[in-house]
Amino acid sequence: MRAVQVPRPKAPFEIVERDIPEPGPGTVRIKVQACGICHSDSYTKEGLFPGMQYPRVPGHEVVGVIDAVAPGVPRWTAGQRVAVGWHGGNCGYCDNCRRGDFFACQSFTAITGITSDGGYAEYMIARSEALALVPDELSSAEAAPLVCAGVTTFNCLRNSGARPGELVAVLGLGGLGHLGVQFAARAGYRTVAIARGQDKEALAHQLGATYYIDTLQKDPSAELLTLGGARVILATITDGDAMAAVVGGLGTNGTFMTIGAVPSLTVSPVQLLRGRQSVKGWYSGTSIDSQDTLAFSVLSGVRSMNEVFPLERAAEAYERMTSGKARFRVVLTM
């Protein structure tokens, strides 16, 4: 099979021929049809994850068809179309798993494309508990970004405590944000999109936002307070200062939820305690969360806007994604 691997940290991608892997205990083999490229693939490319082993095939927005199932694996059969995201599996018996916190499994850390080879390849092996069923209404390229960028925004919003009709702001209109705005609007929130520049306003409304705040023109915190204060702010960007500029727009009992990985964020504890507000992070989700995201996307018409490249152009596609110019996600097809 053809695979695109990172031979060592910071090295260029190489396209290699490998033997098609055999599924070991608890796993299935997937004939990959599409794999999204995510900013987090830089962990693999740049060697940012402690203890990573190389060579490594990146990719954690994987969609394909099961073509082999290890003996004893229940439920899954060859021919089912499935997706695998960041969450690569969990034990099911540690204390956290027994409490339902599968994302925080204490027995092992399984991350697709980081602790095992991912989807920049024609075949990959996945643990069975990491599989999500893909509905027929979505093509594989359409579905791929929904199992990382999609599930992260959707699952964060649906666990944010916001109720239909409440004010929800999405900070950033990139790969994550363009999905976050769609999910927020389709979930029935009064949706505010916040980004830099007037050129994004039309897009924000097209995606379903009722309001648009251009941070080059206006103070986003003051604007949110004018609208009544946000019940939830979903921060999808990776700029701590730009996040801090928006926290002041939280309303009473508001929650600032970040899925953007920044090293630090400055907030005023006085503001938090006076408004009984909170700041919270969110882990993307497990396989059933991905499956719910795919189903909700079919139900509500949410779609990722994708630029599609063939597998052999993975290096170019990765550059396109890291350049920040992609509108809005980049997907490899096999």
Note the residues at the interface with Zn ion (CB under 5 A).
Answer: 38, 40, 90-91, 94, 97, 105, 107, 148
36 vs 248, beta carbon nearer Zn ion: 36
23 vs 119, beta carbon nearer Zn ion: 119
Residue 318 φ then ψ, to 5°? -65, -45
d(CA 149, CA 127): 21
146 vs 247, beta carbon nearer Zn ion: 146
**Sign, CA torsion 201/157/189/266:** negative
63 vs 148, beta carbon nearer Zn ion: 148
Q: Smallest gap, in angstroms, from Cβ of residue 118 to Zn ion?
A: 10
**Sign, CA torsion 11/15/16/19:** positive
90 vs 182, beta carbon nearer Zn ion: 90
d(CA 298, CA 138): 7
Tell me the pairing of strands 81-84 and 62-69: antiparallel
User: ∠ at Cα 19 (290, 8), nearest 5°?
Assistant: 75
Write b or e for each residue in 125-157: b if 16 or more Cβ atoms lie within 10 A of its Cβ, otherwise e: bbbbbbbbbbeeebbbbbbbbbbbbbbbbbbbb
d(CA 287, CA 293): 10
Q: Smallest gap, in angstroms, from Cβ of residue 97 to Zn ion?
A: 3
Residue with tokens 């399984």, as numbered in its chain:
110
d(CA 129, CA 189): 32
242 vs 330, beta carbon nearer Zn ion: 330
90 vs 290, beta carbon nearer Zn ion: 90
Q: Smallest gap, in angstroms, from Cβ of residue 99 to Zn ion?
A: 10
84 vs 181, beta carbon nearer Zn ion: 84
41 vs 214, beta carbon nearer Zn ion: 41
d(CA 132, CA 290): 6
Length of the chain: 334
Question: Residue 273 corresponds to which amino acid?
Answer: L
Q: Smallest gap, in angstroms, from Cβ of residue 85 to Zn ion?
A: 7
Alpha helices in the chain (DSSP H): 42-46, 95-98, 140-143, 149-158, 177-186, 201-207, 220-226, 240-247, 269-275, 287-300, 314-322
Q: Smallest gap, in angstroms, from Cβ of residue 36 to Zn ion?
A: 8
Q: Smallest gap, in angstroms, from Cβ of residue 46 to Zn ion?
A: 15
Q: Smallest gap, in angstroms, from Cβ of residue 87 to Zn ion?
A: 10
User: ∠ at Cα 265 (260, 268), nearest 5°?
Assistant: 135
Write b or e for each residue in 283-310: b if 16 or more Cβ atoms lie within 10 A of its Cβ, otherwise e: bbbbbebbbbbbbbbbeeebbbebebbe
Q: Smallest gap, in angstroms, from Cβ of residue 220 to Zn ion?
A: 26
Q: Smallest gap, in angstroms, from Cβ of residue 252 to Zn ion?
A: 33
